[in-house]
Amino acid sequence: MGYYKNFKSKVLALLLILFISVIAILNLLAADRSFSESENRMLEQLPHFSLKTLVSGDFTADFEKYVSDQFVFRDFWIGAKTDTDRLMGKKMSNGVYLGTNGYLIQDVISPAEEDLKEKIEAIHAFDQATPYMQKYVMLAPTAAALYQDKLPKYAVIGDQEAYLNKVKQWLHPNIRFIDVFPSLYAERDQPIFYQTDHHWTTQGAYVAYLELCRQMGLTPQNEEEFNIQQVTDEFYGSLYSKSGFRHVQPDRLELHLPKDQERYTVTYVDEEKTADSLYAMEQLQRKDKYAVFLNGNHARIHIKTANPNGRKLLVVKDSYANSLIPFLLKHFSEIDVVDLRYYEEDLASFANDQGIQNMLLLYNANTFFEDPSIKNVTE
């Protein structure tokens, strides 16, 4: 009996050694990947070695990230792990909750109060540098704040609405805070957020657009003025990629196309490219289908419309704005769209030189709380 037990242990040990050896060889032979389609992000590349980076610990840390990102069959192992976690009842992976009916919901980011105050101070400094421009700030709540009933039992999330109210209180009275929380909450039974992506849907962006028009004194376009067109029903978004949760239903992606379309020109300034549409339909053939709006994120985009009223708008934004901007074409002659994560010039000087009358700062709450780039608004 002892002989067979010892033999079995040796066989298992040999199989384990064989498995590890095969994986190690495959890792050495496999070509490095630069981009992960399933995770929708750039992958870590082999770091440059130097004595300085070795001593500082940077090389070791970067090499660990590189090995993790380039590990052979990485996508399979991620899926296997989350499937196992799901069978064991785990409802959270990489900051994403698996909610009811396969709804993926990103956790709420709770900001450090001092960091939040620094961002408000940066906005105030920009306001002082551009005194002739009316400012509007819209921070969109995320699905976690609106769909707490869809979260798993015992899920603990931060109070996003409370932090949004702090921003509202700390902003100078001459900067108008556009609170879209009540409007979105009233429509929460409608598909205003994707189930596999962190963005609001075009329907959600339209709800926010109506509130923006009310605050800016604009006459909004009725939904009857649009052809609502479904362009794909196979959209697996950022939360699907980030969480690793599989076996969930894909999203539908719809566009609100105006029935009386007018000509306009879209210029991607840094790329020196122009287009006659805000929609990059070729992106629907790729993983990140949300990039159909404005062809993704760019440092600056200039939009020249057919509206002769001479009104100019500056939109400082994250990707939430990409699906809302098409609704604004009817109201302005020119719209400049700036993403501070990529824009490196003096924004105040640009706004003053161009004679821009209105500015909309539009972020989702998580990005505003987490991303430091808003502090660059005064640089």
Decide which of 52, 79, 102 is a domain's last residue.
Answer: 102
CB atoms inside a 10 Å sphere around CB 360: 25
141 with 289, same domain: the answer is: yes
Q: Which residue, 182, 216, 170, 187, is CA-closest to 315? A: 216
Spell out the alpha helix ranges (H) of the chain: 2-29, 51-56, 58-70, 74-87, 113-129, 143-146, 160-170, 181-186, 202-216, 238-243, 347-354, 365-370
pLDDT of residue 89: 61
Q: Are 309 and 329 in contact (CB under 8 A)?
A: no
162 with 239, same domain: the answer is: yes
374 with 247, same domain: the answer is: yes
167 with 41, same domain: the answer is: no
pLDDT of residue 192: 97
Decide which of 102, 126, 142 is a domain's last residue.
Answer: 102
Q: Are 322 and 354 in contact (CB under 8 A)?
A: no
What single DSSP character describes residue 50?
A: -
Question: CA dihedral in degrees (214, 312, 352, 277; nearest 10)?
Answer: 120
pLDDT of residue 77: 62
pLDDT of residue 10: 73
3-state secondary structure of 136: strand
212 with 312, same domain: the answer is: yes
pLDDT of residue 23: 64
38 with 58, same domain: the answer is: yes
The residue range of the domain holding 22 is: 2-102
186 with 167, same domain: the answer is: yes
122 with 97, same domain: the answer is: no
pLDDT of residue 295: 96
92 with 123, same domain: the answer is: no
56 with 196, same domain: the answer is: no
Q: State how many domains the chain has.
A: 2
d(CA 298, CA 296): 7
Tell me the mean pLDDT per 10 residues along the chain, length 379.
Answer: 68 75 70 62 72 77 72 66 64 89 92 94 97 97 95 89 96 97 96 97 98 97 95 94 87 94 93 96 94 96 96 97 97 97 94 97 96 89
pLDDT of residue 78: 66
| Full DSSP string of 57-91 | THHHHHHHHHHHHH-TTHHHHHHHHHHHHHHTT--
169 with 286, same domain: the answer is: yes
**What is the chain's Cα-based Rg?**
24
Q: Are 142 and 107 in contact (CB under 8 A)?
A: no
215 with 260, same domain: the answer is: yes
Decide which of 68, 102, 136 is a domain's last residue.
Answer: 102
Q: Are 170 and 137 in contact (CB under 8 A)?
A: no
pLDDT of residue 43: 66
Using the Cα atoms of residue 172, residue 206, residue 354 and residue 367 in order, give the sign of their dihedral: positive
